[in-house]
Amino acid sequence: MAEKKERYEVILAGSGGQGLVLSGIMLAEAAILEGKNAVQTVSYGTYVRGGFSMAGVIIDSEEIIFQEVENADVVLALTEETMEMYEPLAKEGATVVYDTTLIKERTGKGLFGHPFTDMANKMGNVGMVNIIALGYMAKKNGIVDTESLAEVIKRRFSGKTREANLKALEAGIALAV
Amino acid sequence: MSHATGIRYLKDGVLPHMWCPGCGIGIMMGAMLRAFEELGYTNRDTVVVTGIGCTGKLDDYLVTNALHTTHGRALAYATGIKAFNPKLNVVAVMGDGDSVTIGGNHFIHAARRNMDLTAIVINNFNYGMTGGQVSGTTPGGRFTSTTAWGNPERDFDICALAQVAGANYVARETPYRGWELKEAIKEGLGRKGFSLVEVFSPCPTHFGKNNEMKETRQMLHWLKEKALPAEEYNRLDKEAAEGFFPVGKLVDRHEPDFNARYEEIRQKAMAAKKG
Amino acid sequence: MRSEAKLMQGNQAIAEGAFYAGARFYAGYPITPSSEIAEECSKRMPLVGGVYMQMEDEIASMGAIIGASLAGAKSFTATSGPGFSLMQENLGLAVMGEVPCVVVDVQRAGPSTGLATKPAQADVMQIRWGRHGDQTLIALCPATVAECFSLTVTAFNFAEKFRVPVIIAPDEVVGHLRENVIIPGPGELEVIERKQPSGAPASYKPFTADADGVAPLAAYGGDYVFHVSSSMHGPEGYSNNEPANATWRVGQLHRKLEMHRDEIVITKTFDADDAEVLFIAFGATTRASRAAALELRKQGVKAGVLQLVTLWPFADREVAKLGGRAKTVVVTEMNYSGQVAGEVRRVLGSGADIRQVNSYNGQIIRPRAILKAVQ
């Protein structure tokens, strides 16, 4: 796992309904649990369902002045459309994580493809794709501690939903180890 | 036994009032104030909300609480008052422009919500204050200062509108029937939920002058001759009913009002929150 | 009890601020990008003994909150451009009748339906001049989620203290932004209640001001019976069309805010004291301007920011003081016309070096666009 930096700019992009806005909220909440500042912005295509959806998250131990992601440290893309839209925002040395179930495989420095959607399907709940990816990114880049994400899940959900989310988080973490 | 005069609600020194000789607004105001007195209304527990136009001048004569609002919006203001303080007696006094022309949307929604308000509507079939222009209640073919060749549009039946929109109480009266008018207003005020008293009213200055009823007595004569008690009117077939209109109580329901329904929902929410 | 830091959306923080200030009546009509405020109120109002109503339109919403305020409620509504346009006539009654209330206008890109979900700061002049007749009110503009909360409390305080409608005008960026915020505990922020009459009920005049320029306001249903009117009225609230009365009345609506100008006009500065390049900004553009100013400082340019927290009344004195010292003034705003730049030009005169950075396509202004304008 990478050493934690003072500031992270993260983009989580896919299509509406993949839960990326919620992922952004959970990532920001995890950072706040660690005493950091966090902002989350959202950008949508024309249609909420089926159109693209992007959550930008900035985490910083200092005040966050400009609220939008300008140079992403980490980009997650779950669709071909958003891969093309947001990969260029990744700065030098950034990590680009993408879903090989839905996006054609690429090779290059900093590119990490995994079949997140397939994994979620196999776990019996395609709705967990965002949580698997979140666990993977957190572990891989050290954006937040994975324990903080588990705590956010515990505070947000109960019962079966909580268990399913924790299981998905673990699956994502395991992928990065 | 002494009869109620309603004079206790009138501001000192305001009479004679500003309305034209023959206008029905003064008679309606007198009936409303006598109804207040018979129901024991106090100034502090009563809010009279008015709109704009001849009828909208009425608040200036009163010593109850009052709110003189914008054209057509009296019911929206009245809704806010009543929703926040259900103990108040809230009366919206409007003309046909306020109630069902510029303000028609508020009228149907206040009735749909069954707000515990009484709407008293002076329907004089035109815009009297501003020179007798056409209104949403001007009958087809009639002449006004903006329908010089006759009105090509149809008119609203305000009572029917209130009925289908969900009012608990609907009555129509005329200044010719002063006692019945007071009784209708009193029954409307006493009824929980949305109540409407429509008052067909002479406007000899404009509507009468433009429609061959130049003299006040001609307009009153028309209101006297053509008003039929609802049960009598309803016995007539369509042809025989032509030219007549029903008066008296037209709708008589006891559905729960907005405040009662809101309180019921609120109790459920409180219980769910505790549980 | 002071809560821990939590992630909150700007619109949600506005609703939180309203509850903190004691709001007990909300009437509105849903419109993007303000609807989260209505949704939060529909959940919470019944639980605190308040009333939430979705009205048939924004005209009715404005009327209903005025009615509820006169019945004693701290009341408010939230909307965006098209709805704010519909509210104007009744908002004018709140000015004329001196009825405390708060209107949130989450600004989106027009004209007309425009870019329905995209940000703008193009209602600045409508907020000030959108109503007929000569009238005035207060408008506040948050740049952060924390300000969404605190300025909503301030808005209710100003409304109650000065008997005036107060507009809160976040742009869509700030309304939808999520950010960590600590909600103050009860008592940490001052909450002001409207001044009540205390004399004999028979002598109460709802429009006779005290020495502070503001008349006490009773509530319908209490011992003090009163009239409020959209028409020109005398001290008792009854119609009065005498020229001398109108002179007094219209003047009074303006004077009460002029008297308290220093309390009402709030600004914030960032490295502005020695600034040779002064950015003047409000709402979300404050943040981009601050980032640009920091970048310029790194390059050795003395740059700073004046944030207009109060949009109206305009911060003439603050703009004159800091703008007069700077070599270059840059006004950043999300509109075509330079609605605030025009005010800055009025204050500083045509000889000043005033530059504009504008965006009117629904896209935010970024620091690099600002830097380009300065170089």
CA distance A133 to chain C (A): 21
Rounded CA-CA distance A73/A91 in Å is 6
The domain segmentation of chain B, as residue ranges, is 20-274
Rounded CA-CA distance C85/C93 in Å is 14
Tell me what pLDDT residue C313 has: 98
* Cβ contacts of B262 on chain C, cutoff 8 Å: 46, 51
CA distance C286 to chain A (A): 9
CB contact under 8 A, C284 and A67: yes
Look at strands B195-200 and B169-173 and give their pairing: parallel
CB contact under 8 A, C178 and A40: yes
Rounded CA-CA distance B159/A145 in Å is 68
Residue B133 bridge partners (DSSP): B127
- Give the chain C residue nearest A69 (alpha carbons): C366
Pick among C51, C74, C204, C239 to test the B interface (most B CBs inside 10 A): C51
Q: Could you tell me the domains of chain C? A: 6-181 (3.40.50.970), 201-262 (no CATH), 267-374 (3.40.50.920)
Residue A54 bridge partners (DSSP): A13, A43
- Give the chain C residue nearest B67 (alpha carbons): C228
DSSP B44-101: TTEEEEE-SSSGGGGGGGB-SEEEE--TT-HHHHHHHHHHH-TTSEEEEEEEHHHHHT
Token pair 């709110």 is found at: B67
Q: Which positions ≥6 away from C351 have C-beta within 8 Å?
A: none
Q: Which chains touch B (3 or more CB pairs under 8 A)?
A: C
**A·C CB contacts under 8 A:** 52
Rounded CA-CA distance B241/A1 in Å is 89
- Give the chain A residue nearest C294 (alpha carbons): A65
Tell me what pLDDT residue A16 has: 83
**Interchain contact B269–C (C-beta under 8 A):** yes
CB contact under 8 A, B68 and C24: no
**B·C CB contacts under 8 A:** 137
**Interchain contact C3–A (C-beta under 8 A):** no
CB contact under 8 A, A38 and C7: yes
What are the CA-CA distances from residue C351 to residues C127, C327, C330, C341 (Å)?
28, 11, 14, 14
Question: Is C1 in contact with C185 (CB distance < 8 Å)?
Answer: yes
Residues 257 to 296 of C: which have CB under 8 A from any A CB?
A: 284, 287-288, 290-291, 294
CB contact under 8 A, A40 and C7: yes
The one-letter code for the residue type at C318 is E
CB contact under 8 A, A66 and C366: yes
The CATH superfamily holding the domain B20-274 is Thiamin diphosphate (ThDP)-binding fold, Pyr/PP domains (3.40.50.970)
CB contact under 8 A, C55 and B83: no
Tell me what pLDDT residue C207 has: 98
CB contact under 8 A, A39 and C177: yes
DSSP C200-222: -GGG--TT---TTS------TTS
Tell me what pLDDT residue A4 has: 77
CB contact under 8 A, C75 and B63: no
Look at strands C138-140 and C310-312 and give their pairing: antiparallel
Q: Which two tokens stand for residue C167?
A: 């507009």
Tell me what pLDDT residue B274 has: 86
The segments of chain B whose pLDDT lies below 50 read none
* Cβ contacts of C287 on chain A, cutoff 8 Å: 65-67
Question: Is C255 in contact with C213 (CB distance < 8 Å)?
Answer: yes
CB contact under 8 A, A41 and C117: no
CB contact under 8 A, C180 and A67: no
Token pair 């639980």 is found at: C47
CB contact under 8 A, C90 and B70: yes
CB contact under 8 A, C117 and A66: no
* Cβ contacts of A28 on chain C, cutoff 8 Å: 7, 178, 180
Rounded CA-CA distance A76/A68 in Å is 16
What's the mean per-residue pLDDT of chain A?
93
Neighbours of B240 (CB within 10 A): 10
CA distance C61 to chain A (A): 28
Token pair 């219209």 is found at: C250
Rounded CA-CA distance B275/A82 in Å is 44
The domain segmentation of chain A, as residue ranges, is 7-176
CB contact under 8 A, B60 and C53: no
Rounded CA-CA distance A176/C82 in Å is 49
* Cβ contacts of C103 on chain B, cutoff 8 Å: none
**Interchain contact B87–C (C-beta under 8 A):** yes
Q: Which residue among B73, B80, B105 sits closest to C68, beta carbon to beta carbon?
A: B80
* Cβ contacts of C179 on chain A, cutoff 8 Å: 37-40, 64, 67
Task: Sort residue C286 into left (φ over 0), alpha (ψ -120 to 50) or beta.
Answer: alpha
Element (H, E) at B39: helix B25-39
Q: What is the largest CA-CA distance in chain C?
A: 69
Touching pair B, A by Cβ (3+ pairs < 8 Å):
no
Q: Which chains touch C (3 or more CB pairs under 8 A)?
A: A, B
Q: What is the mean pLDDT of each run of 10 residues along chain C (375 residues)?
A: 82 98 98 97 98 98 99 98 98 98 98 94 98 97 98 99 98 98 96 97 98 98 98 98 98 98 98 98 98 98 98 98 97 98 97 97 96 90
Pick among C86, C230, C231, C241 to test the B interface (most B CBs inside 10 A): C230
Q: Which chains touch A (3 or more CB pairs under 8 A)?
A: C
Element (H, E) at C350: none
* Cβ contacts of A42 on chain C, cutoff 8 Å: 176
The one-letter code for the residue type at C124 is V
CB contact under 8 A, B88 and C71: yes
Rounded CA-CA distance B122/B64 in Å is 20
**Secondary structure (H, E, C), A97-145:** EEECCCCCCCCCCCEEEECHHHHHHHCCCHHHHHHHHHHHHHHHHCCCC
Token pair 């950008």 is found at: A43
Look at strands B227-229 and B65-68 and give their pairing: unpaired
Helices (H), chain A: 20-33, 80-86, 116-122, 129-141, 146-156, 159-176
Pick among B65, B88, B115, B264 to test the C interface (most C CBs inside 10 A): B65
Token pair 């009828």 is found at: B55
The CATH superfamily holding the domain A7-176 is Pyruvate-ferredoxin oxidoreductase, PFOR, domain III (3.40.920.10)
* Cβ contacts of C180 on chain A, cutoff 8 Å: 28, 32, 37-39
CA distance C179 to chain A (A): 4
Rounded CA-CA distance C330/C340 in Å is 11
Rounded CA-CA distance B20/C108 in Å is 49
Residues 42 to 81 of B: which have CB under 8 A from any C CB?
A: 43-45, 47, 49, 52, 57, 59-60, 63-70, 73, 76-81
The segments of chain A whose pLDDT lies below 70 read 1-2, 46-50
Q: Which residue among C7, C290, C291 sits closest to A29, beta carbon to beta carbon?
A: C7
CB contact under 8 A, C67 and B270: no
Token pair 């979900």 is found at: C117
Q: Which residue among C61, C62, C225 sits closest to B65, beta carbon to beta carbon?
A: C225
CA distance C279 to chain A (A): 15
Residue B228 bridge partners (DSSP): B246
Element (H, E) at C298: helix C285-298
Question: Is B167 in contact with B113 (CB distance < 8 Å)?
Answer: no
Question: Is B213 in contact with B188 (CB distance < 8 Å)?
Answer: no
